Amino acid sequence: MNQTLIEKILARHSKYDFVKPGDIIDIEIDTRVARDFGGANVVKHITEKGLSIENPAKTFFTFDTNPTGSDQKYAVNQHICRQFARNHGIKVYDIDNGIGTHTLINEGLAYSGTTAVTTDSHANILGAVGAFGQGMGDVDIAVAWAKGSVWFKVPESVKLELVGNRPQNISAKDIVLNLLAIFGANQLLGYSVEIYGTEVDKLTMDERITISSMGTEMGAIILFFTPNSEILEFSSKKAGKIIELVKADENAHYAFTYQIDISTFKPRVSLPGAPHHTNVINQIAKIKIDSAFLGSCTNGRMEDLRIAAQLLKNRKVAPGVVLKIVPATDEIWKEALNEGLIDIFKNAGALVSNAGCAGCAAGQVGQNGAGEITVSSGNRNFPGKQGKGEVYLASPQTVIASSIAGYITTADAIPDFPMEFEHPDTFSDSHLNAKNTKNLQFKPTKVEGRVWFIKQSNIDTDMIFHNRYLAITKMEEMGQYTFDNLEGYEDFSKKVKPGDILVVEKNFGSGSSRQQAVDCFLALGVSLILAQSFGAIYERNAINAAMPIMTYDTMENIAIEDGDLLSVNFETGELINLNKNKIMHIQPFYDVQMEIYQQGGLF
């Protein structure tokens, strides 16, 4: 049986010789990681359940979301993790190290054919070196630590063939922004994607990391590259052994195969609010910026910093613009120092911070304020993700060129004189009041409830439960913050009643791996979430937490409206609009889902 890359890797880590899409299997995890965000909850689960660590040598903490320890709650969580690590012989890659997924590659812990899980929703970045990486919630990670394996549903695979010659001005970030323009946020939802082509073979590891890191924003399980000889040599050196190349079989079956002409790609930016809403840079007006950010797991590599230094040498950041540069790892930081790049950055007027996730995590360099316009090399620009201002996503070339010009532009169009501010911007802010709601538990196989129908796709976890609340670990405190970052539903927690049913559209829960985005609905007593599709990590978190979720194709047949009373049977999939006496059938609970639900959670 010919197998795709993900099928081959998962089969090798299971008890089966071959696996196929749709199979739900236990897979052994080679590397099991928790970050400072989510790590304290993993410790809590392990401790409260009286579990042991299956293999401390394969278990790690990575502190990358707040390497400065500047937030009191993060500092407490980090200390909890350090104490637990000391007691159990677990290695900690501490605040002086950098982004955890990059660490796994650089330390030889992830390479062709291996498996890894972490509380980082961008763990699929490991597809850059041909490894299977997945972000999971803290419940999954705790089980992986205790058991050494987790269950996983084998996804279907898609093959992308990039044909034609890559234009000289197209960076790796531009490649993935062009792919987002083609596929959007959910056309590849739930698929494992393999990327091939003559130009693909030439991509450096840094470039592959950039592209793979945004698989999450495309809704994909992972974006895979087959390692070339240079990357195999790198991985072998880091791992201290000869790495065997694991690749897809010839004539493997793919759900879809796409040929895409890379020669047509143009430099793009993602417009504020959604990574997949992109536009060609030369087709937008000269948008004045307040700040620029170079860093994140997507673009904080050495090649990115060299590009920045090349553009900034003998130039200055535009007056009134703040340029923030954050290397991905401490190793990169030191290399930039040795090459004199840090000196170039400082002479140009940039702020350089210690290695870490930076702008994607609250409390770090890269956050912006209300009314602020930022051009960023990050991977997400969901509302509130990198602050309260507007964020445009772009390549390092565009970020640096824009910081010099004072407006969004490309590297070949930097003006002789920057655009300056003519008057100060005004802005306003609002503070929402929220109330605590009692946490209710529901275990019936049939529920009736009032409908909240939010006719919107791609509602991400920052809209559901914003990252400024991530230090909260008590479920009863989470409900009050539900949807307070979703426009039009900021008062949802005040109006929702226990037993209500939430109906949304495609790709609900896209974004990060945060468990709180599920637990907040449990805290409010929401009895069911119906969606056309869920983000892959969100679906796992909900099932593991015994939060009832179900999928549907269309609601047109039963004409659901806000406030309608629905009856839903988890076992049969029968859905009745009691107000209109209309009946339809949707996907019932899977056996595994029902088992987890009835026992009150994965544990």
> Beta 157-163 vs 351-352: how paired, if at all?
unpaired
* Average pLDDT estimate for 368-372: 89
- Which strands, in side-by-side order, build the sheet including 132-135? 91-93, 59-62, 31-35, 115-118, 132-135
DSSP 146-189: HHSEEEEEPPPEEEEEEESPPPTT--HHHHHHHHHHHHTTTTTT
Residue 69: the pLDDT is 64
**Within a domain: residue 215?**
yes
The pLDDT mean for the chain works out to: 92
Furthest CA-CA distance within the chain: 72
Claim to verify: residue 242 and residue 325 sit in the same structural domain:
no
**Within a domain: residue 436?**
no
**Within a domain: residue 536?**
yes
- Which strands, in side-by-side order, build the sheet including 565-569? 549-551, 528-531, 501-503, 446-453, 565-569, 574-577, 582-585
Single out the residue of 92, 93, 95 nearest to residue 71, CA to CA: 95
Rounded to 10 degrees, the C-alpha dihedral 498/501/505/508 comes to 40
Residue 362: the pLDDT is 59
Angle between helices 536-544 and 516-524 (to 10 degrees): 50
Q: Is residue 509 within 8 Å of 219, Cβ to Cβ? A: no
3-state secondary structure of 422: coil
Tens-place pLDDT, residues 191-240: 999 999 999 999 999 999 999 999 999 999 999 999 999 999 999 999 99
Is the predicted pLDDT of residue 48 greater than 50, yes or no? yes
* Average pLDDT estimate for 252-267: 97
Claim to verify: residue 327 and residue 275 sit in the same structural domain:
yes
Single out the residue of 511, 516, 453 nearest to residue 481, CA to CA: 516
**Within a domain: residue 431?**
no
Claim to verify: residue 56 and residue 194 sit in the same structural domain:
yes
**Interatomic CA distance for residues 345 and 193, integer angstroms:** 37
Is the predicted pLDDT of residue 126 greater than 60, yes or no? yes
3-state secondary structure of 340: coil
* Average pLDDT estimate for 485-499: 95
Residue 536: the pLDDT is 93
- Residue for token digits 């401490």? 330
pLDDT band, very low/low/confident/very high, at 442 (cuts 50, 70, 90): low
Claim to verify: residue 340 and residue 325 sit in the same structural domain:
yes
Element (H, E) at 196: strand 192-196
* Average pLDDT estimate for 30-39: 92
Which amino acid would we find at residue 603?
Answer: F
Alpha-carbon distance values, 327 to 37, 331, 359, 365, 542 (Å): 19, 9, 12, 11, 34
Phi-psi region of 108 (alpha: psi -120 to 50; beta: other; left: phi over 0): left
Domain of residue 206: give its range.
5-264
Q: Is residue 121 within 8 Å of 216, Cβ to Cβ? A: yes
The pair of structure tokens assigned to 5 is 């890359």
Claim to verify: residue 83 and residue 107 sit in the same structural domain:
yes
Beta bridge partners of 161: 196, 259
* End-of-domain residue from the set 236, 264, 292: 264
Alpha-carbon distance values, 19 to 6, 22, 39, 194, 251 (Å): 10, 9, 32, 17, 16
Q: Cα angle vertex 22, ends 17, 26, to 5°?
A: 55
**Within a domain: residue 426?**
no
Phi-psi region of 384 (alpha: psi -120 to 50; beta: other; left: phi over 0): left
Claim to verify: residue 256 and residue 174 sit in the same structural domain:
yes
Tens-place pLDDT, residues 353-362: 989 888 777 5
Claim to verify: residue 247 and residue 347 sit in the same structural domain:
no
Residue 417: the pLDDT is 92
Claim to verify: residue 85 and residue 226 sit in the same structural domain:
yes
Claim to verify: residue 32 and residue 102 sit in the same structural domain:
yes
Residue 551: the pLDDT is 96
Tens-place pLDDT, residues 69-114: 667 778 888 999 999 999 999 999 999 999 999 999 999 999 999 9
Those residues with Cβ within 8 angstroms of residue 412's Cβ, 6 or more apart along the chain or in another chain = 169
- Residue for token digits 């609601």? 555
Between 71 and 145, where is the model more confident? 145
* End-of-domain residue from the set 201, 236, 264: 264
Is the predicted pLDDT of residue 438 greater than 80, yes or no? no
Q: Is 259 exposed, middle or buried, given 0-12, 13-18 or 19+ CB atoms closer than 10 A?
A: exposed
**Within a domain: residue 432?**
no
Structurally, the chain folds into a number of domains equal to: 3
The pair of structure tokens assigned to 21 is 């899409």
Element (H, E) at 118: strand 115-118
Claim to verify: residue 328 and residue 474 sit in the same structural domain:
no
**Within a domain: residue 428?**
no
3-state secondary structure of 385: coil
Give me the count of residues in the chain: 603
* End-of-domain residue from the set 235, 264, 293: 264
Strand extents, DSSP E, 266-411: 268-270, 278-280, 291-294, 322-325, 351-352, 373-376, 390-393
Tens-place pLDDT, residues 445-475: 999 999 999 999 999 999 999 988 888 888 9
Residue 261: the pLDDT is 98
**Interatomic CA distance for residues 76 and 391, integer angstroms:** 30
* Average pLDDT estimate for 539-563: 93
Residue 423: the pLDDT is 58
- Residue for token digits 């004189």? 417
**Within a domain: residue 147?**
yes
Beta bridge partners of 551: 531
pLDDT band, very low/low/confident/very high, at 436 (cuts 50, 70, 90): very low
Residue 85: the pLDDT is 97
Claim to verify: residue 572 and residue 591 sit in the same structural domain:
yes
The pair of structure tokens assigned to 313 is 């040498």
Claim to verify: residue 394 and residue 455 sit in the same structural domain:
no
Residue 492: the pLDDT is 97
Q: Is 466 exposed, middle or buried, given 0-12, 13-18 or 19+ CB atoms closer than 10 A?
A: buried
Tens-place pLDDT, residues 226-251: 999 999 999 999 999 999 999 999 99
Residue 210: the pLDDT is 96
The CATH number covering residue 539 comes to: 3.20.19.10
The CATH number covering residue 308 comes to: 3.30.499.10
Say how many C-beta atoms besides its own lie within 10 A of residue 571's C-beta. Answer: 10
